[in-house]
Amino acid sequence: MIQVNYSLMYQSTHDMFGDTGLIPAADAEGMGVVLMRSTTSGVCQRLMRRSFPKELANVDLDAFLLNYALSNPLVDCALMSLGSDADATWTNAVSDDVDGRLDLRALHRG
């Protein structure tokens, strides 16, 4: 098993265009893939809210980012900070929404 940084902002561990990087290499070796910083530690959220404050006022960017990371078919799980019962409930709801997953390969092909 490996634990790697992977998110919408940090895609170097799995380049979907060339299907290269640490994540596909680990998968080829039969290793599990555990993610950290799936929601970018708040960096993407701050950037997006500063750039589009009105448009994103009611958007759950954390859910979007976690769903993006979990949409990678080579990912087995994502570690999240669970400081409260509400955090655990929210994380479970997002991770359980399998029907909401994105087809990342199609997205990257255009």
Beta carbons of 32 and 1 less than 8 angstroms apart: yes
Does the residue 41 lie in any domain?
Answer: yes
* Tally of domains in the chain: 1
Residue 87 is predicted with a pLDDT of 94
Does the residue 65 lie in any domain?
Answer: yes
Does the residue 11 lie in any domain?
Answer: yes
Residue 110 is predicted with a pLDDT of 76
Residue 109 is predicted with a pLDDT of 87
The CA distance from 13 to 36, in Å, is: 12
Does the residue 67 lie in any domain?
Answer: yes
Does the residue 49 lie in any domain?
Answer: yes
Residue 72 is predicted with a pLDDT of 97
Does the residue 110 lie in any domain?
Answer: no
pLDDT along the chain (110 residues), means of 10: 96 94 98 95 95 97 96 96 93 95 91
Residue 61 is predicted with a pLDDT of 96
Residue 53 is predicted with a pLDDT of 97
Q: How far is CA 91 from CA 21, 25, 28, 65, in A?
A: 27, 27, 28, 12
Domain that residue 35 falls in: 2-105
Its pTM stands at 0.91
Does the residue 22 lie in any domain?
Answer: yes
The CA distance from 1 to 85, in Å, is: 27
